[in-house]
């Protein structure tokens, strides 16, 4: 029984009509999914991060030929770029005793004291001989005492230079450097390189 469209409309009823309108209205407002990549900007950013990470690692490892990085090639290039003719490494530091020099005052003082003490011994010619021997022994003793009072220590510093030679310097005071330290020698003075 096919009838007019009005009859069919009355058969389906208003509820059926509302259902059709609601289902088509929902489809009209939802975007259609396109096949392909969901987030292309995130994919491009991820690829860029990966590429920059690989380039950074290659630079740090010295795998890039023109990179001055911390790798072995970079260190060799940096070392050859700035040669230092006055630089070296301290090989040894030794404390050496230095015997003091007598000025003669100790000898004169010792001779006087020895002569006075020698004069106290004996009589006649024995007294004269004792005075001379006392003066000589006193002069020798006074001179040695003066030298011992003027004893000092000097520090011998051996530096192996970058060109392979060894330089030896003497410092009157204990140096502020240690064995194995890199130093620069300028006008007989040891300083840190730089």
- The confidence score (pLDDT) of residue 63 equals 80
- pLDDT higher than 60, residue 47: yes
Q: Which residue has the higher pLDDT, 85 or 28?
A: 85
pLDDT > 70 fraction of the chain, expressed in percent and rounded = 70
From the number of C-beta atoms within 10 Å of its C-beta (0-12, 13-18, 19+), residue 118 rates as buried
- Summarised one tens digit per residue, pLDDT across range 53-94 is 998 888 887 787 764 545 555 555 555 556 778 888 999 989
- pLDDT higher than 90, residue 106: no
- The confidence score (pLDDT) of residue 51 equals 93
From the number of C-beta atoms within 10 Å of its C-beta (0-12, 13-18, 19+), residue 165 rates as exposed
pTM of this structure: 0.41
- Summarised one tens digit per residue, pLDDT across range 134-152 is 888 888 888 888 877 777 8
The pLDDT confidence band at residue 158, using thresholds 50, 70 and 90, is very high
Cβ 172 vs Cβ 154: under 8 Å: yes
Domains for the chain: give ranges and CATH numbers. 40-80 (no CATH), 84-98+153-194 (2.40.50), 100-150 (no CATH)
Alpha helices in the chain (DSSP H): 5-29, 40-61, 72-81, 105-119, 125-149
């Amino acid at each position: 029984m096919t009838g007019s469209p009005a009859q069919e409309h009355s058969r389906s009823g208003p509820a059926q009509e509302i259902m059709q309108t609601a289902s088509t209205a929902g489809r009209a407002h939802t975007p259609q999914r396109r096949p392909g990549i969901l987030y292309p900007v995130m994919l491009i950013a991820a690829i860029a991060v990966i590429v920059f990470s690989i380039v950074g690692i290659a630079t740090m490892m010295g795998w890039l030929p023109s990179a001055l990085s911390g790798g072995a090639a970079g260190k060799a290039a940096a070392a050859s770029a700035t040669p230092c003719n006055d630089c070296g490494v301290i090989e040894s530091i030794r404390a050496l005793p230095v015997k003091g020099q007598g000025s003669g005052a100790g000898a004169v003082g010792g001779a006087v004291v020895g002569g006075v003490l020698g004069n106290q011994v004996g009589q006649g010619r024995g007294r004269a001989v004792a005075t001379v021997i006392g003066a000589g022994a006193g002069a020798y003793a006074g001179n040695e005492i003066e030298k011992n009072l003027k004893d000092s220590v000097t520090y011998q510093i051996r530096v192996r230079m970058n060109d392979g030679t060894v330089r030896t310097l003497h410092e009157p005071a204990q140096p502020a450097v240690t064995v194995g330290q890199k130093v620069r020698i300028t006008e007989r003075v040891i300083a840190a390189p730089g």
